């Protein structure tokens, strides 16, 4: 390499200076930076999400993690109480993010974040996004908040116990132990855990409200009512016959949606505002469900009553595109072949399931694709 990289660096220097990064800081930090081929490799090979909901939950909400989390919670009781009092986020919720993101600090990531971000900003996908993060990382150094070699994280630049990108660090990291520095990387997790709580709080967390509850749907329930954002009040859902899976009352938490994370043969969830807050940390619905469920388990809650069927999983984007193409060719118009779930794709899948005598939940599961491929082969 890397005339190309050096040329890019020259341009970057100008853009950084326009953004109030001092030339001396830029030169000190960036002069020795070389692109990291590993990082591009990781981005290219980033696995599509292919675990079933059941397998994903088995890994993220394992008995071992629940035990480990409860132990860490006792060890950090005073700290967590202080954080809950300051930010209005339950200790179990903070613990859940800590557990899922880095195994309670056991795995902060092995990459030097500045070279990793420089690699992605120069030659990866989503360059503008990563350049923004790189400049934020330089600003952290310029402010004297961390030295470059202290800033370790994932290949994609997510740093510290809570895997904060540099822009999130700037906006949400806090100095909770009062030593004058926001340290989300150190062995003492005080600042990092408070920063997680601050992030969650600023995105609208409501203390004392659940993220969601497992519910039972009545026979003949119209599955087209399910999906994130198809909101009704708890009272409206109750009027439709939806009940708490463990026969408990559900308080009125405002707008609620019903999710079927693994289709109608698996557990049904009613989710509330706090579920959307978790999605601000990571947009995957299965991630948000795992965070919420792990927090419930830390608090002594029970496993899902109904559980999730073996093998059933959501289709990858590429696979969903294939489903859309095949359905559209059969005359079940999905109004677009983009690999994204929407109401038109859901109703096309439902119509297809009905035509096959299958349960018509509109769930974009692997079974749908398998059946479509069989039909294409004359099955
Ligand atoms: Ca501190």
DSSP 8-state secondary structure symbol assigned to residue 188? S
CA of 198 to the centre of ligand 1 (A): 14
H or E element, residue 268: strand 268-271
pLDDT at 14: 98
Bridge partners, residue 159, by sequence = 153, 164
CA-to-CA distance for 173 and 197, rounded, in angstroms? 9
CA of 23 to the centre of ligand 1 (A): 28
CA 171 to chain CA centroid, nearest Å: 19
CA of 113 to the centre of ligand 1 (A): 20
Q: What is the pLDDT of residues 334-348, one digit of tens each?
A: 999 999 888 889 889
CA-to-CA distance for 109 and 98, rounded, in angstroms? 13
CA-to-CA distance for 293 and 57, rounded, in angstroms? 9
Judged against a pLDDT cut of 70, whether residue 49 lies above it is answered with no
CA of 144 to the centre of ligand 1 (A): 13
CA of 142 to the centre of ligand 1 (A): 17
CA of 275 to the centre of ligand 1 (A): 29
pLDDT at 362: 84
pLDDT classification of 47: cutoffs 50, 70, 90: low
Q: What is the pLDDT of residues 104-137, one digit of tens each?
A: 999 999 999 999 999 999 998 999 999 999 999 9
323 CB-side CA count, 13 A: 31
At 291, phi and psi to the nearest 5?
A: -60, -50
CA of 196 to the centre of ligand 1 (A): 14
CA of 83 to the centre of ligand 1 (A): 13
pLDDT classification of 52: cutoffs 50, 70, 90: confident
Q: Are strands 212-216 and 152-153 parallel, antiparallel or unpaired?
A: unpaired
Give yes or no for a contact between 184 and 159, defined as CB atoms under 8 angstroms apart. yes
What domains can you pick out in the chain, each with its CATH number?
3-46+108-185 (1.10.8.350), 54-102 (no CATH), 212-298 (1.10.530.10), 317-376 (1.10.101)
Taking residues 143-168, report their average pLDDT. Answer: 96
Give yes or no for a contact between 248 and 192, defined as CB atoms under 8 angstroms apart. no
Q: Is 39 exposed, middle or buried (0-12, 13-18, 19+ CB in 10 A)?
A: buried
**pTM for this entry:** 0.90
CA of 170 to the centre of ligand 1 (A): 14
pLDDT at 36: 94
CA of 174 to the centre of ligand 1 (A): 7
pLDDT at 82: 98
CA of 184 to the centre of ligand 1 (A): 8
At 261, phi and psi to the nearest 5?
A: -60, -25
Q: Are strands 152-153 and 243-244 parallel, antiparallel or unpaired?
A: unpaired
Mean predicted lDDT score pLDDT of the chain: 94
């Amino acid at each position: 390499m890397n005339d190309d990289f050096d040329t890019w660096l020259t341009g970057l220097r100008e853009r950084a200076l326009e953004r109030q990064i001092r030339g001396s800081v830029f030169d000190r930090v960036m002069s020795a930076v070389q692109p990291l081929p590993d990082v591009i490799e990781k981005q290219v090979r980033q696995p599509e999400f292919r675990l079933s909901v059941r397998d994903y939950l088995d890994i993220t909400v394992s008995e071992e993690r629940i035990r480990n989390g409860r132990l860490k919670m006792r060890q950090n009781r005073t700290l967590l109480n202080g954080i809950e009092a300051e930010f209005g986020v339950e200790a179990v919720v903070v613990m859940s993010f800590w557990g899922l993101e880095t195994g309670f600090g056991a795995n902060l990531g092995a990459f030097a974040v500045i070279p990793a971000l420089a690699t992605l900003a120069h030659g990866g996908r989503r360059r503008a996004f990563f350049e923004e993060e790189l400049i934020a990382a330089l600003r952290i150094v310029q402010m004297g908040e961390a030295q470059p070699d202290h800033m370790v994280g994932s290949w994609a630049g997510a740093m510290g116990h809570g895997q904060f990108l540099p822009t999130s660090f700037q906006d949400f990291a806090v100095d909770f132990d009062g030593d004058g520095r926001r340290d989300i990387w150190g062995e003492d997790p005080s600042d990092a855990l408070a920063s997680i709580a601050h992030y969650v709080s600023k995105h609208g967390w409501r203390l004392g409200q659940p993220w969601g509850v497992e519910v039972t749907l009545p026979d003949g329930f119209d599955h087209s009512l399910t999906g994130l954002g198809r909101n009704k009040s708890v009272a409206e859902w109750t009027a439709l016959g939806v009940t708490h899976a463990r026969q408990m009352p559900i308080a009125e938490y405002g707008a609620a949606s019903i999710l079927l994370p693994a289709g109608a043969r698996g557990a049904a969830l009613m989710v509330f505002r706090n579920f959307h807050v978790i999605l601000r940390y990571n947009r995957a619905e299965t991630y948000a469900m795992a965070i919420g469920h792990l927090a419930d388990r830390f608090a002594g809650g029970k496993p899902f009553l109904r559980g999730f069927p073996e093998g059933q999983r959501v289709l990858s984007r590429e696979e969903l595109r294939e489903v859309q193409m095949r359905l559209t060719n059969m005359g079940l118009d999905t109004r677009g072949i983009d690999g994204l779930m929407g109401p038109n794709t859901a109703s096309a899948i439902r119509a297809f399931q009905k035509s096959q005598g299958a349960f018509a939940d509109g769930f974009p599961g692997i079974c749908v694709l398998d059946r479509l491929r069989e039909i294409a082969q004359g099955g």
